[in-house]
Amino acid sequence: MSLFGGVFSRGGADINDEAWLQALLDAEAGLARAVERAGLAPAGSGAEVTRAAVAADFDIAGLGRLSALTGNPVPGLARALSRRVSATAARAVHRGATSQDIMDTAAMLLARRALDASRADLERAADAAAHLAATHRGSVMIGRTQLQQAVPVTFGVVAAGWLSGLDAAIDGVAAAREARLAVQFGGATGTLASLGAGGDRVKALFAEEVGLPDPALPWHTERLRIIDVAIAMARVTAALGKIARDVALLAQTEVAEVAEGPGDGPGEGRAEARAEAPAHGAAQRPAHGPARGAAHGPAHGTGHTNGTAPRRGGSSAAPNKANPVAAVAILGCARQVPGLVATVVASAEQEHQRAAGAWHAEWQPFTDILRLASSAAAWGAELLTGLQVDTARMAANLASAGGLPLAERVTALLATVLGGPQAHELVASAAARAASSGLPLRDVLLAAPELEERLDEAGITPGQIEAALDPAGYLGSSADFITAALRAHDQARACDG
C-alpha cells in the first residue's frame, strides 16, 4: 500500500508495480508454453519457466534500474528469468518476441484484471442504486438546476438517473472486455520472421495460453485497443463522478438530505467485505419508504486523538465534521482520468513499426487509468450500498421553499386565465416578493389585488391555487422513468446471468 493507496488504489484490481511485474512474467511464461506446444522448445520447458515466473522472487528496483539501459524493463526481466531456469528451458524464454510484445500483452492482462474488478463493483453499485430508486419512488425533494431550486423531483428518479449511468458504464466495460483485449505478438517488426513459417501458430497458442483473444495480426503501432480500454474506464469514472458530486452536494450541512454510511475500517478496501444491498425485485418495491439508517447520517467522526485511529469522515482540525469521504475519493479519481486519457490518445500517433517515445508515454497514464477507475468503482459500491437518505429533511427543505419550486405549475394554471406572458410576469413578481419577504408564495398570490378579480371571474379558487402548490402533484413522468430504468437494469442483469 502506497501513501495514497487507500484513496486511489482501492478495490480488488491492485494495479501496481508488483501486478505489472507479474503480468510481464505471466506473458513470458505463456509464451514459453506456446513455444513448447509448437515444437520449438524441449518438453517441460514451458512448465519450468512458469514455475520460475513468480514476481516475489524478482527485484523490482533492480529491474527498474536496468530499464534505463534498454528503455523498458523487459530485456532485464527476460535475462533474469532465463537465469532462474535450466539452460534447456531458457531456450523457450522470450522466443521470437520483442519487448513490446511482452509489455503490450501484460498491459492487456492488467486491463482484464481491472475491467473484471471494476465491473463487479459497478454491478454492486448499480444494484444499490436500483434499490434506492425503488425504495424512494415517492420521496419528494427539491430539484436543482444550476445549483438553484427548480421544480420538485423524487429521490427515486435521481437514483434512477444514477442507475442508468452505471448500467451504461457496465456495458462499456463489458464491451471492452469482450472485444478489445488481445494478445500482442509480432517480433521485431510485426512479421515474426525469427519463427519462420510457425509464427502465426505460436501467436495463436500464445493467445490461448494467456487467455486473450488472438487478433488477425500484430497491433504494435495500431493503438486503438489501448484507447478503447482507456475510454471504457473513463466512462466508469464519469458515471461515478456524477453520483459523487450529487452526494457531496446533498450531504452539505445546510442541505443534509443524504449522508454516507460508516464505511470500511482501516485497511479494508474490498467491496466484497460489505453486506449486499437488498434485492430490488417486485416484492421489495414499495412506493416509498423511510430513510435507511439514522435520520441525519452516522455520528460525526473526529480526527486522530489520544492515539486512537481516526474515524471515517473525521477532520484533523474540526471534530464536528463528517466529511463525505467516499464521494470525495471518487471525485479525486475522476478528476485525474480525462488528462490521462488525453495522453493515451495523443500517444496513438506512432512511427512505422515501433514508436520512438509515444509507446513509452502510454505506460504510466494507462496504468493510472486502470488503477483510478478500479478504485472509483470500489468506492462507488461502498458509497451507494451504505448511503443514508433523510426523507424528512428532504420534505423540510422543500417546505421551507414556501412554494417557490411550484411557480411553474401555478403559471400554467393562471395562463388559462391571463395568457402565458402575463401569467409568467405576475408569478415572477409574486415569487420575488415572496423571496424577499419570507412569505409563502400562496399568500403573496392570493393577496395580489390585480389577480383576485380575474381569478373569481375564471372560477379559480384558493383551493386550486393551493393544489397547484402541492409538490406531490407535480412530478410528471417520474414514476414511469423509474420503472423504465429498473426494468432495463433487470433485463441487463438477466442477460448477464
User: Where in the sequence numbering do the catalytic residues fall?
Assistant: 315, 354
* Residue showing cell 531458457: 90
Round to whole Å and give the CA distance between 317 and 310.
12
Given a contact cutoff of 8 angstroms between Cβ atoms, the answer to whether 225 and 184 are in contact is no
Given a contact cutoff of 8 angstroms between Cβ atoms, the answer to whether 260 and 388 are in contact is yes
Given a contact cutoff of 8 angstroms between Cβ atoms, the answer to whether 230 and 340 are in contact is yes
Extract the C-alpha cell encoding 447.
393577496
Helices then strands, each counted (H, E), the chain: 19, 4
Q: What would the DSSP string read from start to end of 369-388?
A: HHHHHHHHHHHHHHHHHS-E
Compute how many other C-beta atoms are within 10 angstroms of the C-beta atom of residue 463. Answer: 8
For residue 2, the SS3 value is coil
Q: How do beta strands 140-145 and 388-389 pair?
A: unpaired
Spell out the alpha helix ranges (H) of 144-269: 155-179, 199-210, 224-250
Side chain identity at residue 461, one-letter code: T
Q: What would the DSSP string read from start to end of 77-112?
A: HHHHHHHTS-HHHHTTTTTT--HHHHHHHHHHHHHH
Round to whole Å and give the CA distance between 487 and 480.
10
Round to whole Å and give the CA distance between 175 and 119.
11
The secondary structure element, H or E, covering residue 154 is: strand 148-154
